[in-house]
Each structure stands twice: as structure tokens, then as C-alpha cells.
Amino acid sequence: MPLYPLLRPLLFRLDPERAHAASLALLRFMGAIAPLRALQRLVLPPVHDPLELLGLRFENRVGLAAGYDKDARALAGLAALGFGHLEIGTVTPLPQPGNPRPRLFRLVEDRSVVNRLGFPSQGAARTAARLRRRPAGVVVGVNLGKQRETPVERAVEDYVGLVETFAPLADYLTVNVSSPNTPGLRRLETGQELGRLLAPVVRRRDELAGASAARRVPLLVKLSPDLTAEDLDAAVDAALEAGVDGFVATNTTLGRGGARSPLATEAGGLSGSLLAEAADAALERVAQRVAGRALVIGAGGVMSGDDARAKRAAGADLVQLYTGLVYRGPGLVSEVAAALTTRRAASAAGRAGRGPAPK
């Protein structure tokens, strides 16, 4: 959007969390008024490049990563920006405030963000009520997380309960076991623990579909970029054995390699440009391990169309962005979607003598 370079200095004068809340409120307002939604689409024409994955029709390959709209408050406004899918959450079973403020930091010199939000959530009931009024025409996924107070040993109860709530409402579900901001959560990501967690979650998903003759909602797992190669392989193998349908690679990182901003010392997960290299490496390994057996979504460090093409080259079927919106504005959505069009990919592959582009 041409106006965003003018608006960004004003937004950056605000505390990051206040600026985020303001942008979400604006999108919620615009999404509630049909002429304003039409104006959004006029200013930011959506990229029409439909494809089908997991039995779902995506308008294009770019999606909103979890974390921006945690409680499904601005779905219509976000859809009007031209996303092919929206992943909301992380949603927890009950309302919780998350970690104390300040908990969100812009690393401007690095085009990155550090957050230690800790799953602030209005809870499953309120989010589910909003999803019952969701806009048509855009794929909506729900990112699921355990309650902070729930012991890791009982986390499966939270995830099963969330599947029961959201399976009838979401197009897909993502099990989040990789946030660094909920104590003990990443313990669930190791191969053996992950398998024990996912088996009953997948079983309950299947039971719900069988009991109601409803569609079997796809189940994904979001992985960390901080796993060793061996642990990443083990996590993928355990998830596939449990019966998941896909992966989101990756979540934020605890690493700070290459950071220049003094705010890099703040605790929390890092996203944005500094995450790209680690996220792409993990994504490529996940895609190679999956070998076409499941969907792979690439997330982390998508700040341009070139970054999105790098995700595709590493094996992503779809890409997601969030921090890029902070630095580039909503025009990034159409830029990334255009960069990932099947037509463009096929043309580039043909010029390189590689034949048709991958699915």
C-alpha cells in the first residue's frame, strides 16, 4: 500500500503491542463494512492463483501466520488484504493474559521482532463464537496451544478438548508445541513425547469425523527452528506415524545470530529477517523428510517475494508471513502471492530447463 511508508513512522512511535492492537482494530472496523472491504480490494487487488491442497481450495499460496489475530477478531478485514488462508491463534482452552508487559520488541536495525507474549488468549469459547460468523471464501486454520497452568504431562487433554471445539469450525488445525514462551511446551516436541501427544489427538479428530459423517479436518504440527537435525527428523517421523496431515516450519527462534539491535538481548522468540536462514534450513529438512507425504507450510522471515520463492524452493507448498507486515505493510501480501503464482513458477522453471513447476 503506497500509504504505508508514510504511516509506518507514526506506528513505530507507539509501543509495539499498542501499534498491533491499533492495526487489528482498524482491520476489524474495515472488515465490518462492505464498502470498506471493497475499497481494500481495489487498493490491494487480490492475486487469483487457486490451488487445492488437503481437499481445501486456496485462493493463492500466501497465508497469515498465527499470532497476528489470536482471537479471530478481524477475519473479514484480513481476508480483504488478499490472503489465501488465515491461521488464527494461538488459542488456549480458557482465557489467559499471557506474560507481563512489555513483551513485544521491534529490532528495527534487523527488521525483526522479539516476542514473549506467552499465548494471551480470550479462550476457546469466544474464539469459536466468532468463527461461526467467519467470512466465506478464505481458508481459516486454528493454531492450538495448551493452557499455561496445565502440566506438560496433561497437555494432551487441552489439545483434545480444543480439537473437539474447533474441528467443526476450522478448515484445518495446527498443534503448537514449539513456542518458546510457554514453560515446558517444547518438551512435547521431542519425537517420543510428540508421538504420545499426537496419537490421541489424531484419534479424537477421526472419531469426531466418523460420528458426525463430517469432513475429516486436516491436522498440522508447528515445529521449532531450534531442533537439531536428528531431533527434527524424529519429530517429523513421530508426527507422520501418528497420522498428521502436514507441518508448519517454523515457529520463532531463541537464536540471535547476526543481531545488531540492543533489544536483541530481550528474552523471547525472534521472528523476521534474522529468522529466515534457520527457518529455511529447517523447512528444507522437513520437506525432504516428508517427501510428499504431507503438506508443508513455510513460515519465518518472509519479508519479500524473493524470500517467499526461497521457501518454495526449499519445499514449501504454502508460505505464511506476519513480521513482514510490520516492516513492509499490507502490500506485501500481494507481492508475495504474485511471486508464488503457478504461472510465474512454471515460467521460471522452463527458463531454467527444469520442466514444469512442482505442485
**Domain contains 60:** yes
Residue 171 lies in a domain: yes
> CA-CA distance, 216 to 237, in Å (whole number)?
21
Q: 347: pLDDT confidence band, cut at 50, 70 and 90?
A: very low
What is the predicted pLDDT for the residue at 194? 97
Residue 342 lies in a domain: yes
Per-residue pLDDT at 210 = 87
The count of domains in the chain is 1
Can you give the CATH number for the domain in which 187 is found? 3.20.20.70
Domain assignment present for 193:
yes
Instruction: Say yes or no to pLDDT of 287 above 90.
Output: yes
Question: Are 68 and 186 within 8 A, CB to CB?
Answer: no
Give residue-wise pLDDT tens across range 88-131: 999 999 999 999 999 999 999 999 999 999 999 999 999 999 99
Rounded CA separation 215/87 (Å) = 19
pLDDT greater than 90 at residue 6:
no
Sheet holding 269-272, edge to edge: 104-107, 112-115, 269-272
Dihedral pair phi/psi, residue 135, rounded to 5°: -70, 150
Q: Are 172 and 218 contacting, i.e. CB atoms less than 8 angstroms apart?
A: yes
Which residues are 143's β-sheet partners? 174
| Residues 247, 222 contacting (CB under 8 angstroms) | yes
The pLDDT score that the predictor gives to residue 213 is 66
Residue range of the domain that includes 241: 4-351
pLDDT digits (tens, 9 = 90+) for 60-77: 999 999 999 999 999 999
pLDDT band at 343 (very low <50, low <70, confident <90, very high): low
3-state helix, strand, coil in the chain (%, to 5): 45, 15, 40
Q: What CA–CA distance (Å, rounded) separates 279 from 295?
A: 16
Q: What is the mean pLDDT of the chain?
A: 93
Residues ≥6 apart with Cβ < 8 Å to 48: 59, 60
Q: What is the pLDDT of residue 348?
A: 47
Q: What positions carry a catalytic annotation?
A: 179
> 181-190, 194-203, 295-304, 339-348: which has the minimum mean pLDDT?
339-348
240-283 pLDDT tens trace: 999 999 999 999 999 999 999 999 999 999 999 999 999 999 99
Residue 357 lies in a domain: no
Provide the b/e sequence for 109-136 (b: ≥16 CB within 10 Å): ebbbbbbbbbbbbbbbeebbebbeebee
pLDDT of residue 297: 98
The SS3 assignment for 327 reads: helix
Please indicate, yes or no, if residue 359 is contained in any of the structural domains.
no
Contact 86, 138 (CB under 8 A): yes
Residue 356 lies in a domain: no
Residue 354's pLDDT band, with cuts at 50, 70 and 90, is: very low
Tens digits of residue pLDDT in 31-90: 999 898 888 888 888 899 999 999 999 999 999 999 999 999 999 999 999 999 999 999
Going by their DSSP bridges, the two strands 51-53 and 56-58 should be labelled as: antiparallel
Asked if the model's pLDDT at residue 132 lies above 50, the reply is: yes
Unique residue bearing C-alpha cell 536428528? 230
Is 358 a domain residue?
Answer: no
CA torsion 271-329-175-337 (nearest 10°) is -110
Contact 83, 332 (CB under 8 A): no
